């Protein structure tokens, strides 16, 4: 059906038709497999490969639209480089969608890169970007993927061992146990949440690294030469584990997690939509992942955390760059906050259903919903204090949760009128958004990429 659209539809609308048909079919499949067969159980079935195929169908449709339906001066540099100027044949189309290297676990790749690989031009094109004579070579070298494949297979083995040990020792069901919900104090729950979320990562590390290694073993994935002259095989890499575990901002974390999906979201949604790009990108990400309610809890919370993290970084980071000690202290604090914020945000993603998600968020007094108030130092300080302070069970409040809930309520009703805004408004004291478009709205292709999911 999508190839029929590719062949018959107008190039001015080919991307829209392909997008709605592919995403619509994927959504119907998600609904049928979840609510008819396996609600509450995340099974491995046809929906995984179909998600990858959906990415490829829409990616190709947008690139054909860029190549045939738009003027060159209207394209960004990246869109111009990836634009497809000739509609693919049926064989090319099927080969791109269903090749054995990426049909099971991906990752999504660009049509022009794939065709260059099939025609044997993939590595040659990347090598021509370097002046090898200045490096002492008389001819083009022959980069081998062997080292990269061995390294990635070693990482998949480590990830598998962690999955069989750490994940089994700290299952996500621990987050709804009676001890966690009713007996553990706030800081204990927060630390335990972080441990459980860390334990849920190895399966993703395993699948994505193995998929990358398979493509590299076939000779696909060469990205060029780094500044030290080393051959790089990370064109299709889906994650950077070191940067994920040491991320000091939400932006840095998202940029290195599920990289190819984030790139797909940027190219088909974030750079294209004229309004609310951040919100719509998170909505598309949730819809693509499926229709489990937990996905929507995660991406709704992720939208708020993204805005709060960006605002905090822009407003306060420069105060800590005057000395090395301050910078180290800032990095340590932001690392801890980032890791805990990510754990809080993605917990519903792995819990899937509504009931455990509500139970978990209740134990944290719905603190994540307050992150939008982090746009003012007074609100931030009060929110952190209200979230973490060990309230004594004395006075008018008979328990620590009640005291914390009282202070959060006071924070909401005292600060919102004072700052003249609601939780959903763009920025306290700043009404310029009503009269003047931001640079982000004027130039969609140049939007800040820090809020991609």
Local confidence pLDDT in tens for the 453 residues of the chain: 888 999 888 888 999 999 999 999 999 988 887 776 665 555 667 888 999 999 999 999 999 999 999 998 999 999 999 999 999 999 999 999 999 999 888 899 999 999 999 999 888 888 887 766 666 676 778 889 999 999 999 999 999 999 999 888 898 888 888 888 888 888 888 889 999 999 999 999 999 999 999 999 999 999 988 888 789 999 999 999 999 999 998 889 989 999 999 999 999 999 999 888 988 998 899 899 988 888 988 988 888 888 888 888 888 888 888 889 999 999 999 999 999 999 999 999 998 888 888 888 888 877 654 444 344 333 344 444 344 444 444 444 445 455 545 544 444 444 333 333 333 333 333 333 333 444 444 444 444 444 555
pLDDT of residue 95: 95
pLDDT of residue 203: 92
- Of 98, 126, 146, which closes a domain? 98
Q: Could you please report the per-residue DSSP string of 224-236?
A: EE-TTS-EE--TT
Give the number of domains in the chain.
Answer: 2
Print the domain residue range for 289: 240-385
Q: For residue 127, is it within any domain? A: no
Q: Which residue's structure tokens are 């407003």?
A: 315
Residues that are catalytic: 258, 289
Assess if residue 371 is contained within a domain.
Answer: yes
Q: Is 129 among the domain residues? A: no
Tell me which of 68, 98, 128 is where a domain ends. Answer: 98
CA distance 283 to 108: 20
Q: Cα separation of 277 and 450, whole Å?
A: 12
pLDDT value for 355: 86
**Tokens 């005291």 appear where?**
403
Tokens of 378: 């007074």
- 39 is a domain residue: yes
Tell me the whole-structure pTM to 2 decimals: 0.77
* C-alpha–C-alpha distance, residues 245 and 24, integer Å: 35
Contact 235, 229 (CB under 8 A): no
Asked whether the beta carbons of 228 and 125 are under 8 A apart, the reply is no
Q: Tokens standing for 240?
A: 């950077």
C-alpha 402 chain-centroid distance: 35
- The DSSP bridge partners found for residue 232 are 224
28 found inside a domain: yes
Does 267 map to a domain?
yes
Residue 40 lies in a domain: yes
Region label for 19, one of left (φ > 0), alpha (ψ between -120 and 50) or beta (otherwise): alpha
- The per-residue pLDDT for 34 is 75
Residue 144 lies inside a defined structural domain of this protein? no
Q: What is the spatial distance between Cα 154 and Cα 149, in angstroms, rounded to a whole number?
A: 9
Q: Cα separation of 23 and 62, whole Å? A: 14
Helix axes 186-199, 324-351, angle to 10 degrees: 70
pLDDT for res 50: 93
> Coil, helix or strand for 272?
coil
Boundary residue ending a domain (365, 385, 405): 385
């Amino acid at each position: 059906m999508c190839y029929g659209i590719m062949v018959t539809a107008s190039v001015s609308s080919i991307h829209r038709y392909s997008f709605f048909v592919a995403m619509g079919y994927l959504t119907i499949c998600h609904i049928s497999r979840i609510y008819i067969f396996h609600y509450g159980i995340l099974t491995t079935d046809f929906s995984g490969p179909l998600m990858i195929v959906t990415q490829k169908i829409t990616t190709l449709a947008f690139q054909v639209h860029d190549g045939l339906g738009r003027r060159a001066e209207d394209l960004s540099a990246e869109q111009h480089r990836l634009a497809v100027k000739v509609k693919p044949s049926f064989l090319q189309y099927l080969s791109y969608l269903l090749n054995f290297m990426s049909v099971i676990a991906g990752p999504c790749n660009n049509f022009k890169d794939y065709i260059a690989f099939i025609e044997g031009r993939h590595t040659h094109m990347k090598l021509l970007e370097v002046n090898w004579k200045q490096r002492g070579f008389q001819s083009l070298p022959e980069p081998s993927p062997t080292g990269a494949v061995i390294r990635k297979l070693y990482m998949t083995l480590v990830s598998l061992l962690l999955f069989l040990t750490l994940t089994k020792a700290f299952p996500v069901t621990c987050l709804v146990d009676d001890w966690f919900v009713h007996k553990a104090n706030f800081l204990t729950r927060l630390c335990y949440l972080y441990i459980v979320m860390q334990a849920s990562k190895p399966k993703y590390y395993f699948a994505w690294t193995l998929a990358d290694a398979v493509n590299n073993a076939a000779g696909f994935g060469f990205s060029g030469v780094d500044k030290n002259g080393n051959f790089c095989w990370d064109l299709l890499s889906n994650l950077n584990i070191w940067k994920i575990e040491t991320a000091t901002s939400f932006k840095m974390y998202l940029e290195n997690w599920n990289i190819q999906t984030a790139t797909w979201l940027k190219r088909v949604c974030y750079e294209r939509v004229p309004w609310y790009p951040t919100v719509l990108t998170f909505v598309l990400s949730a819809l693509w992942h499926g229709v489990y309610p937990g996905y929507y809890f995660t991406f709704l919370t992720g939208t708020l955390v993204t805005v709060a993290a960006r605002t905090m970084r822009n407003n306060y980071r420069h105060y800590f760059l005057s000395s090395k000690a301050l910078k180290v202290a800032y990095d340590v604090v932001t690392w801890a906050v980032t890791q805990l914020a990510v754990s809080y945000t993605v917990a519903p993603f792995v819990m899937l259903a509504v009931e455990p998600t509500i139970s978990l968020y209740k134990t944290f007094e719905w603190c994540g919903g307050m992150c939008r108030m982090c746009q003012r130092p007074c609100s931030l300080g009060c929110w952190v204090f209200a979230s973490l302070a060990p309230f004594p069970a004395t006075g008018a409040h008979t328990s620590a949760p009640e005291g914390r809930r009282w202070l959060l309520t006071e924070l909401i009703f005292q600060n919102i009128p004072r700052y003249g805004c609601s939780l959903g408004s763009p920025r306290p004291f700043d009404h310029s958004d009503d009269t003047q478009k931001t640079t982000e709205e004027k130039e969609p292709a140049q939007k800040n990429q820090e809020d991609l999911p």
